[in-house]
Amino acid sequence: MANLQIGNMQGLPTELTSFLTTLQAQIMNVQNRTDQLERLAAENARLTTELDQARTTITNLQKQLGSQSAPEKNFSQISLSNLAGTVGTSDKNKEPGLEASTWASKASVSLPVTAPKMSAVPSAHRIAASVRMFALPSGPSGYEYVYIPRSRRLKHKEVRSSLRTLGVDSSRLLDINFPARGVIGILVHVQYADTFKTKVTTSSVEILDAFDPLDPDNVADPKYASLSTHELANTAAMLHYDRCLQALQFLRPHVAIPVGHFFCEEGWISEDEIPTRTTLTNATGGSLFKRQRSSSVTMSE
């Protein structure tokens, strides 16, 4: 079927020819997708192998570090004792009255000895992040806001800390906002979305799949109580627009730009507001993500 030629279909009814042409295109599309999935599966297997090797290396380094700490301590004590003995012997051979003015007497003052600094062993998360940095792009691309409930007002660092306790890799959380009373919005890459949802649902945290950040009911500030439903909808859209722009300010440039395109595709910001490397750099050459973020909730509460 994939090798069906146009000439072979001469004399067939028009409907049958159209059907066979469409079927052939669909079969070729399925074959292309199958080839792509096989390539992705091979790439995933390779990355998994590299990660296992990195974890094994970490374990071996930790064992070596533990076995080396005791000998280094003994070496420091022995060196200090030898130094003190050498200086003491030299002082005894000096003539009386010269000790206070000699270099040896000043060098004999005991100084604190500190153990040499050992480089911190990188964690498995940091190694995985480094592997992703040098890996060719593969799999689906894009971003997703995952919404979960909350029982009280929280700060951004509290949310990150609590999710880390549940086993979530906090370095994969691109943005945290509070779009409505009792709701937390978490921005993640689509390739981490399923993992994130599995982590939180395993801990009995509900995913609010039906939540709409543009719902007028999200506007709970009493000062908007007199607005009509249409005006509340506009206000909800404006508040979400502000949250999107704020999120872009605190993302690193290489992440802020694709996230800006995602926001634009969702209709939350305009194309002109998608950040560029120029707009993400201030007059001193520093990235805007370094500025201090407000620690609590948004106007929608």
In the chain, DSSP finds a helix count (H) and a strand count (E) of 7, 3
Mean pLDDT, rounded, for 120-132: 68
Q: Based on the number of CB atoms within 10 Å of its own CB, is 98 exposed (0-12), middle (13-18) or buried (19 or more)? A: exposed
Which range has the worst mean pLDDT, 123-127, 196-200, 222-226? 123-127
pLDDT at residue 299, as a whole number? 43
**Alpha-carbon span 257 to 267, nearest angstrom:** 16
* 120 against 282, higher pLDDT: 120
**Alpha-carbon span 218 to 297, nearest angstrom:** 13
pLDDT at residue 289, as a whole number? 42
Q: Token pair for residue 240? A: 């979400």
CATH class belonging to 140-290? alpha beta
Q: Write the pLDDT tens digit of every residue in 242-268.
A: 999 999 999 998 899 999 999 999 999
Q: Write the pLDDT tens digit of every residue in 146-201.
A: 999 999 999 999 999 999 999 999 999 999 999 999 999 999 999 999 999 999 99
For 188, list phi and psi in degrees, rounded to 5: -135, 160
Residue 116 has pLDDT above 80, yes or no: no
The band of 297, judged by pLDDT with boundaries at 50, 70 and 90, is very low
Residues 177/295, Cβ–Cβ less than 8 Å: no
Q: For the sheet with 143-149, list strands across it.
A: 143-149, 183-189, 175-180
Residue 218 has pLDDT above 50, yes or no: yes
**Alpha-carbon span 11 to 204, nearest angstrom:** 63
pLDDT at residue 288, as a whole number? 47
Which range has the worst mean pLDDT, 30-34, 230-234, 264-268? 30-34
pLDDT at residue 256, as a whole number? 94
Domain extents in the chain: 7-61, 140-290
pLDDT at residue 259, as a whole number? 96
* 199 against 89, higher pLDDT: 199
**Alpha-carbon span 269 to 175, nearest angstrom:** 16
User: Percent of the chain having pLDDT more than 90?
Assistant: 42
* 111 against 58, higher pLDDT: 58
